[in-house]
Amino acid sequence: MSKRSSAKYKLDRRMGENVFGRPKSPVNKREYGPGQHGQRRKGKMSDFGIQLRAKQKLKGYYGDVTEKQFKRTFTEASRMKGDASQNLIGLLERRLDMVVYRAKFAPTIWAARQLVSHGHIRVNGVKCNIASRRVDVGDVIELGPKAKEMALVMEAQSLAERDIPDYVVPDGTDKVSFNRVPTLDEVPYPVRMEPNLVVEFYSR
């Protein structure tokens, strides 16, 4: 998993909506696309374009997961029983960096990934530094001793812009347990995600 490869809010401006729901997003002021030709009139989108956008938005929301990782997750979701789009969301939400972000241990998904990769997170009492690790139902995720005093963590916990969802149950301020795999409706996305279009994109 790589570091952030493009500008922090470029995805917001490309999509024309505040994908991460952050108050400082420039899309609130400049509603046109990024770059030299961002203010040109946009042509009509093809079906492929609509599907590609849905895929890029979902992939970008999870912190620019690499295409290889994202496609592998989709392949796994499509082999599981039930609705592929719901399975895809369930698998993405089970990533360790995502659970850390949902638990409000970090202000952004990138900060959550860094907390994990720097060894500040323990899963069931064991240190884990793999951001893409799948969390199982019943797992307990807690902050390491150093992380509890980090300004970044304290800042994240005091953020009013998002709440901890029902499927991540806090136990004090530095520990949460993952109690079930969420469905699409339960995930607190700031914008509308369309995993069904992602399924169509990969099923072409």
pLDDT in tens, the chain (204 residues): 456 666 777 787 778 777 887 777 777 777 777 778 877 777 788 999 999 999 999 998 998 889 999 999 999 999 999 999 999 999 999 999 999 999 999 998 999 999 999 999 999 999 999 999 999 999 999 999 888 889 988 888 888 878 899 999 998 888 999 999 999 999 999 889 999 999 999 998
**DSSP three-state, residue 17:** coil
Beta strands 175-178 and 168-170, pairing class: antiparallel
Specify the fold of 10-36+43-92+186-202.
Ribosomal Protein S4 Delta 41; Chain A, domain 1 (1.10.1050)
Nearest one of 67, 138, 125, 65 to 95, comparing CA atoms: 65
Locate all alpha helices (DSSP H) within the chain, ordered by sequence: 10-15, 47-61, 67-79, 84-93, 96-102, 109-117, 151-157, 195-202
Please say whether the beta carbons of 147 and 115 come within 8 A: yes
d(CA 98, CA 77) in angstroms, rounded, equals 17
CATH 1.10.1050.10 intervals, the chain = 10-36+43-92+186-202
Please say whether the beta carbons of 191 and 21 come within 8 A: yes
Q: Identify the CATH assignment for 95-180 out of 3.30.70.3270, 3.10.290.10, 3.40.47.10, 3.40.640.10.
A: 3.10.290.10
Q: pTM for this one?
A: 0.88
- Token readout for 171 is 């136990």
d(CA 14, CA 53) in angstroms, rounded, equals 9
CATH 3.10.290.10 intervals, the chain = 95-180
